[in-house]
Amino acid sequence: MIKKYYEMTPDERLASLNLLEQDKQYLHNHQDSIHEQLVENYISDLNVPIGILKDIQLNGKSYNVPMAIEEPSVIAAANYGAKLLKTGGGIKATLSSPTVMIGQIMFKNIDFEEINIFVKSNQVQLFKTAQMAKPSIYKRGGGLKSVHARQVSKKQVSIDFMIDTKDAMGANIVNTILEAELVLFNMYESNIVGAILSNYATAQVVTITGSVAIPAVGGKQAAQKIVELSEFGQNDCYRATTENKGTFNGISAVVLATGNDWRAVEAGGHAYASRHGKYQSLTSWHIDGNLLVGTLKLPISVGIVGGAISAMPQSQINLAICNIDSADELRSVIGAVGLAQNLAALKAIANGGIQRGHMRMQYRALALQIGANKNEIPELVSKLVAEAYVDESIAKMKLMELRNET
């Protein structure tokens, strides 16, 4: 009998692809038996570099943070930003308390007052149902914390369930509870649109603050420029998008390294950036005496157990590197890396543009791309940095020169 695609082994799927033998072998060499169990139609792994942000000072503790990212310069910049933030006494994180996930049951063509009264008068049953649906999270001290109706439009209502999922990100925990709760709303069955968690995790907001001694950023003028850039990001969506992308360079790299769902964190972050009715930068900077003071505020929905985290040894190793004990601690570290990343980017722009700092790392990637070997890369990069203009053909020419010299 012919196997269905999903029934094939990874190698059988590889064999069915129109690929060079050497490429199939490459993909075969990068297979992982655990990852094969994680996703459907698995063929191989994508390897992303992991580097360390060494010693970021947060809430009086020093962290080594693994960052998984393919973009050159990001990890170097995060290290630099973290170093700058030490000059102002380290970073502080404060969290919503408790940090809870939000689950929604969504209704159409319904009167808000009616469903509001229903929810208020059935609280005992709503709490009992949640506990019965997921008793283990109650044993860990979590579970449903509150439930209320929220008017979305004239005829649309969301019943919001605030659920403490402890050290798990909690998407599955929330969905399990919501699906059990649906039964209580049987009489409104035809009004129900759906039930699922919300990734707009406004009850998991992390506020990160950090200061830098003004001389460390290049003096008063440079600090003022950083403030002006930050103000631009509050008013201009074009600037805000780029600034937030830079902040997410740090945030997403840690989220990914720890096996967390970076789509969830990014979706929540971008929604939060629009909370005032326009898309704005998630960070803001101002001058206070001799300090440049920055704040980053966004929801960060992550866990240290569950999902792929518990299944992937690498996530657990990365969490061990970071020496993290709780999801709340991880949220704080991720936010701190975001602020450090943002500061490094703003400082580079304020001091004449990011290209100068970026180019050394970009040229390493270019050197690899044109076939330079490990021993040739440092010298080739130095030659390219000295050039006013570099492209692939110039890089190839410089590599030839280098090879002729040796």
- Which amino acids are annotated catalytic? 71, 245, 261, 358
For ligand NDP, the binding residue among 305, 321, 377, 390 (CB under 6 A) is 305
Residue 101 contacts ligand NDP per CB under 6 A: no
Residue 307 contacts ligand NDP per CB under 6 A: yes
- List the one residue out of 340, 397, 337, 345 whose CA is nearest residue 366: 397
Tokens coding 259: 């096996």
Shortest spacing between CB 310 and ligand NDP, in angstroms? 7
Shortest spacing between CB 257 and ligand NDP, in angstroms? 15
In terms of phi and psi (left: phi > 0; alpha: psi -120 to 50; beta: otherwise), the region of 367 is: alpha
From the list 76-84, 155-163, 304-312, 332-340, the region that binds ligand NDP by CB under 6 A is 304-312
Residue 202 contacts ligand NDP per CB under 6 A: no
- List the one residue out of 373, 369, 375 whose CA is nearest residue 395: 369
Q: Which is nearer to ligand NDP, 252 or 281 (CB)?
A: 252
What single string gives the DSSP state of each residue in 40-73? TT---PPP--EEEEEEEEETTEEEEEEEE--STT
- Cβ atoms of 178 and 185 within 8 Å: the answer is no
Residue 86 contacts ligand NDP per CB under 6 A: no
Q: Which is nearer to ligand NDP, 68 or 395 (CB)?
A: 68
Q: Which is nearer to ligand NDP, 87 or 172 (CB)?
A: 172
Helix (H, G, I), strand (E, B) or coil at 293: strand
Residue-wise over 338-371: b if at least 16 C-beta within 10 A, else e?
A: bbbbbbbbbbbbbeeebeebbbebbbbebbeeee
Residue 264 contacts ligand NDP per CB under 6 A: yes
Q: Go through the chain and tell me how many residues it has.
A: 406
How far apart CA 252 and CA 304 sit, in angstroms, is 15
Q: Which is nearer to ligand NDP, 175 or 362 (CB)?
A: 175
For residue 277, give the amino acid letter: G
Site string for ligand NDP, 105-144 (x = CB under 6 A): -------------------------------xx--x----
* Sequence-ordered strand ranges (E) for 154-280: 156-164, 192-198, 205-213
Shortest spacing between CB 325 and ligand NDP, in angstroms? 10
- Cβ atoms of 347 and 218 within 8 Å: the answer is yes
For ligand NDP, the binding residue among 100, 157, 173, 372 (CB under 6 A) is 173
How far apart CA 384 and CA 395 sit, in angstroms, is 7
Shortest spacing between CB 165 and ligand NDP, in angstroms? 6
Residue 308 contacts ligand NDP per CB under 6 A: yes
Residue 350 contacts ligand NDP per CB under 6 A: no
From the list 36-44, 47-55, 151-159, 161-169, the region that binds ligand NDP by CB under 6 A is 161-169
For ligand NDP, the binding residue among 72, 269, 303, 338 (CB under 6 A) is 303
From the list 6-14, 44-52, 168-176, 270-278, the region that binds ligand NDP by CB under 6 A is 168-176
Shortest spacing between CB 102 and ligand NDP, in angstroms? 11
- Give the ranges where 184-236 is alpha helix by DSSP (H): 220-235
Shortest spacing between CB 133 and ligand NDP, in angstroms? 11
For ligand NDP, the binding residue among 79, 191, 199, 342 (CB under 6 A) is 199
Shortest spacing between CB 130 and ligand NDP, in angstroms? 13
Q: Which is nearer to ligand NDP, 230 or 318 (CB)?
A: 318
Q: For residue 284, list its beta bridge partners.
A: 295
Provide the 8-state DSSP code for 217.
G
12-18 LR contacts (CB < 8 Å, sep 24+): 13/41, 13/42, 13/43, 14/43, 14/44, 17/43
Tell me whether strands 192-198 and 143-153 are parallel, antiparallel or unpaired. unpaired
Q: Which positions lie near ligand NDP, rule CB under 6 A?
A: 136-137, 140, 165-173, 197, 199, 261, 264, 303, 305-308
